[in-house]
Chain A
Amino acid sequence: MSILSNELREKIQAYIPRYPNKQAVTLPALHLVQDALRCVPNEAVREIAQMLDLAPSEVYDTMTFYGFFREDHNKLGKNRLWVCRSLACNLRGADDLLGHFCDKLHVAPGETTKDGKITLEFAECIGACEGAPCVLINDEHELNITNEKADQLIARLQKA
Chain B
Amino acid sequence: MSNYEPILLARIGKPESYKLEGYRADGGYEAFLKALKNSKPNEVVDTIKNSGLRGRGGAGFPTGLKWTFLPKDHPGPIYLCVNADESEPCTFNNRILMELDPHQVLEGVMLACYAIKSSRAYYYIRYEYGLSYRRLQAAIDELYAAGLLGQNIQGSGFNLDIYLHRGAGAYVCGEETGLIESLEGKRAWPRIKPPFPAIEGAFRKPTIVNNVETLACVTQIMRRGIDWFKSIGVAPDPKNPRDAGSYGPKLYCVSGHVNNPGCWELPLGVTSNELIRLAGGVWKGRKVKAVVPGGLSMGFLTANELEVPLDFNGPGKVGCLGLGTAAITVIDDQTSMIDVLHNTCQFYAHESCGQCTPCREGTGWMLKITDRLRKGQGRKEDLDILVEVADRIGIMPGSTICGLADGAGWPVKNAIRKFRQEFEDAIKTGRRSHLRPLAMAH
Contact = CB atoms under 8 A, between A and B. Distances in A.
Q: Which of A52, A61, A140 has the most CB of B within 10 A?
A: A140
Nearest to A18: B163
Interface residues of B, number: 62
Contact of B186 (A31, A62, A88): A62
Interface string A100-143: 00110000111000000000001111111111100010111100
A21 B169 CA distance: 23
A62 B185 contact: yes
A88 B187 contact: no
Interface residues of B: mostly helix, strand, loop or mixed?
Answer: mixed
Interface stretch (A4-12, A71-79, A90-98, A147-155): A90-98
A13 to B, nearest CB: 15
A18 B339 CA distance: 45
A127 B128 contact: yes
A140 to B, nearest CB: 5
A31 B127 CA distance: 10
Interface in B79-133: 86-92, 95, 126-131, 133
Contact of B343 (A27, A30, A86): A86
Contacts of B169: 66-68, 123-124
B91 A130 contact: no
Contact of B166 (A28, A102, A125, A126): A28
A147 B262 CA distance: 22
A103 B95 CA distance: 31
B211 to A, nearest CB: 14
Contact of A91 (B165, B184, B257): B257
A85 interface: yes
B92 A65 contact: no
A139 B169 CA distance: 11
Interface in B334-367: 335, 339-340, 343-344, 346-347, 350-351, 353
B393 interface: no
Given A21-B203, A66-B168, A92-B256, A141 B131 contact: yes
Interface stretch (B30-38, B66-74, B146-154, B434-442): B434-442
A85 B439 contact: yes
Given A27-B185, A86-B90, A124 B168 contact: no
B301 interface: no
Nearest to A29: B185
B347 A124 contact: yes
Contacts of A87: 89-90, 256, 292, 296, 329, 340, 343-344, 347
B217 interface: no
A20 B207 CA distance: 14
A132 B283 CA distance: 13
Contacts of A95: 436, 439
Given A62-B187, A86-B347, A124-B87, A129 B92 contact: yes
Interface string B173-191: 0000000001111111000
B184 A23 contact: yes
Interface of A: 18-21, 23-28, 30-31, 52, 58, 61-62, 65-69, 82, 85-88, 90-92, 94-96, 98-99, 102-103, 108-110, 122-132, 136, 138-141
17 contacts: A18-B161, A18-B163, A19-B203, A21-B203, A62-B185, A68-B127, A86-B296, A86-B347, A87-B90, A88-B256, A102-B439, A109-B439, A124-B89, A124-B350, A125-B89, A125-B347, A130-B262
Interface of B: 77, 86-92, 95, 126-131, 133, 161, 163, 165-171, 182-188, 203, 205, 253-257, 261-263, 292, 296, 327, 329, 331-332, 335, 339-340, 343-344, 346-347, 350-351, 353, 436, 438-439, 441
